[in-house]
């Protein structure tokens, strides 16, 4: 009985390893402005960031908001 439990635990650890492998293998993504599709968009560094958790600012068209376009880089 005890042996069986140990085996299950090892299997779980192996699954975790697979998850990490998949995560590190993930291709990098690039973010774009949803309004003008410019890649010149970045997280706002306003002082009240704890009131508005995530806000992006587009340098190109001045868009501000929580929505961005996220696309996988072309290989």
Q: Identify the three-state secondary structure at position 13.
A: helix
Structure token pair of residue 9: 């635990």
Q: Which of 9, 60, 64, 67 binds Zn ion (CB under 5 A)?
A: 60
Contacting range for Zn ion; rule: CB under 5 A; set: 8-16, 22-30, 45-53, 57-65: 57-65
Classify residue 68 by burial, with Cβ atoms within 10 Å: 0-12, 13-18, 19+: middle
| Closer residue to Zn ion (CB): 11 or 37 | 37
Q: Which residues bind Zn ion (CB under 5 A)?
A: 33, 35-36, 38, 58, 60-61, 63
């Amino acid at each position: 009985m005890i042996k069986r439990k140990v085996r299950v635990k090892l299997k779980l650890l192996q699954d975790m390893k697979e998850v990490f492998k998949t995560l590190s293998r993930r291709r990098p993504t690039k973010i774009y402005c949803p309004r003008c599709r410019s890649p010149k968009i970045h997280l706002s560094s306003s002082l009240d960031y704890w009131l508005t958790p995530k806000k992006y600012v587009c340098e190109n068209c001045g868009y501000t908001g929580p929505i961005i376009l996220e696309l996988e880089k072309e290989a």
